[in-house]
Chain A
Amino acid sequence: MLVQGIKSRPEYKGLSIDPHAKRHLFVLEGEGAAALANQVELKGRDFLAQSEILYLAAGAAPKAYDITLTALSPDIFWQAPTLQPLLFRLRACLEQARMGTRLYIAGTEGFIGQVMQLALEFGIDFNSIHTEHRGSTARRVQCVHCKGITDNVTTSPFACTHCGLPLLVRDHYSRRLGAFQGVNIDAEEPGTAPPPEEMFP
């Protein structure tokens, strides 16, 4: 069960190297590494000398994309163990960055949302950030009741990991929070929630 057709649902238009940018900052998660590899196949290797890659292997660790990315020999390649140090490093990169820097994000929606959230703090217009959705379609969802955020939600409804309410996942997305909105599905008659349906593999 899903509520669709909501305008705030983000669109991920795919990475496309901006030929005018002086510096390219790639923030990639798991399968997102392949989005950059595809760009190299399409556009050649020239831009790699002006590129910095921050990579988080996450669930795709067995595929060893870090070796693929290192082999591209970008100006800087840095791999994070978990999301938090990646965001910490990203913050430092953005503090130093100039207007000629373009940001490219690829990975799961939850990852893109959290990287985007940080980028927006730096006054970057979201329209100028390139994004590509790769890997799992699992969602990051905020419970609109207790405000707790649950990562990697694959079903709707699902039980909020903070307050336990069964939540209907809507396409209603908050760029500020980097999360979809989950709304209690059986508020009128508690206990009547339909069984969870696998929606975001």
Chain B
Amino acid sequence: MSLNTDMPVRVADVTQVTDLVKRFRFERLDGHPMPFFSGGAHVVVSMNDNGLLRRNPYSLMSNPDDNSAYEISVLRVPNSRGGSIFMHKQVKPGDQLIVSQPVNLFAPDHRGRKHILFAGGIGITPFIAMMEQFSRDNIAFELHYAIRSRAHGAYWQQLLDRYGPRRIKIYVDEEKTTIPVAEIADNQPLGTHLYVCGPAGMIDGVLMTALKAGWPKENLHSERFLAPPAGLPFQVFLEKSNIHMTVGEHQSILEAAEAHGCDAPYLCRGGACGQCETAVSSCDGTLEHNDIYLSDEEKASGKKIMICVSRFKGQQLVLQL
């Protein structure tokens, strides 16, 4: 039901970028070109982990002009749900995977006259494609990229070489240099747009600082992929599909539904896009909304739930799915 857009791909190349980051290059099995995408877009990669279906969103970081293949970079996250570990440990050149069509929920605002990008760690990936596009279109941009150490930071040297130190600024935790967000936000010409991608604390900090510096919210953009949080198992009844199911501790409602053969719509799988919005028929308990899509009023109404990240505590939840 997710627009039936999946593309079977072959892993053409796997590159160890740093000790925790690997880059994967995907080519289509049928030899056709990949669809063009725009900077900031992501794909959902489906993995078959010993019969368990894992689907994770990853930002496309290859050149948007290059339709011969897609590239993503994956940070290995220990103690996570296992998608990144699978990509790191299992996926080898020649393997087959499924990727979705590109979806862009973090596109640059082309009305802007200047674009400032703030990246933290692996949050650099959407900006790599975005900068290719800005550079091609002769659009003013600058990147402020915070990394833990020069050894662990991915791509900072390549970006410096490619765009020069005037546009690329690197800040290193280990060297006690931090992004002077307030100074940067304070002195930008009208029509500047700001983009931030990184850890949640960094995103909140940058957005708050910019708002305090008087920026209108329309010029602030962020992308956070929320991994579905773990929690106690609970029961859900899918009304239309007539499925009774248990959502496991490390599973989302969406994943449980997929495991039961219910093809629910989704795009980002991170609580941001709104595609998986599902109507609640009845709810004997409390909805735990973990998304950033629904408004506070919608969350309070208890009539809708984003099944990719949100959970439930109580006796029985009935969804119109």
- The chain A residues found within 8 Å of chain B, CB to CB, are 18, 20-23, 94, 97-102, 120, 122-125, 127-128
- Tell whether A101 pairs with B218 under 8 Å between CB atoms, given A123-B112, A123-B113, A123-B191: no
- Tell whether A125 pairs with B216 under 8 Å between CB atoms, given A20-B211, A99-B192: yes
Closest to A21 in B: B214
B95-134: CB near A (< 8 Å → 1, else 0) gives 0000000000000010111000000000000000000000
Does the CB pair B111–A125 fall under 8 Å? Answer: yes
Does the CB pair A125–B188 fall under 8 Å? Answer: no
Does the CB pair A125–B219 fall under 8 Å? Answer: yes
Closest to B112 in A: A123
Closest to B116 in A: A99
Does the CB pair A100–B113 fall under 8 Å? Answer: no
B215 CB-CB contact with A under 8 Å: yes
What's the least CB distance linking A19 to chain B, in Å?
9
B318 CB-CB contact with A under 8 Å: no
What's the least CB distance linking B195 to chain A, in Å?
14
Does the CB pair B216–A122 fall under 8 Å? Answer: no
- Tell whether A128 pairs with B214 under 8 Å between CB atoms, given A98-B186, A122-B190, A123-B113: no
What's the least CB distance linking A173 to chain B, in Å?
18
CB-defined contacts of B215 to chain A, threshold 8 Å: 99-100
Q: CA separation between A20 and B111, bound complex, in Å?
A: 23
What is the size, in residues, of chain B's interface with A at 8 Å between Cβ atoms?
23
11 residue pairs bridging A and B, Cβ less than 8 Å apart: A20-B211, A20-B212, A102-B214, A122-B113, A123-B112, A123-B190, A124-B190, A125-B219, A127-B216, A128-B216, A128-B218
B187 CB-CB contact with A under 8 Å: yes
| Interface residue from B109, B193, B214, B218 paired with A20 (Cβ < 8 Å) | B214
B7 CB-CB contact with A under 8 Å: no
- Tell whether A99 pairs with B113 under 8 Å between CB atoms, given A20-B211, A20-B212: no
- The chain B residues found within 8 Å of chain A, CB to CB, are 109, 111-113, 185-193, 210-219
Does the CB pair A97–B189 fall under 8 Å? Answer: yes
What's the least CB distance linking B205 to chain A, in Å?
16
Q: CA separation between A23 and B186, bound complex, in Å?
A: 12
CB-defined contacts of A120 to chain B, threshold 8 Å: 111
Most buried by B among A98, A99, A102: A99
CB-defined contacts of B109 to chain A, threshold 8 Å: 125
CB-defined contacts of B185 to chain A, threshold 8 Å: 99
- Tell whether A102 pairs with B216 under 8 Å between CB atoms, given A122-B113, A123-B111, A123-B113: yes
Q: A99-B189, A122-B190, A125-B111 are in contact. List 13 more A-B contacts (CB 8 A).
A: A18-B216, A20-B211, A20-B214, A21-B214, A22-B214, A98-B186, A99-B185, A99-B214, A100-B215, A123-B191, A125-B109, A125-B219, A128-B217
Q: CA separation between A128 and B219, bound complex, in Å?
A: 9
Q: CA separation between A127 and B214, bound complex, in Å?
A: 15
Q: CA separation between A21 and B186, bound complex, in Å?
A: 11
- Tell whether A98 pairs with B187 under 8 Å between CB atoms, given A20-B212, A123-B112, A123-B113: yes
Closest to A24 in B: B214
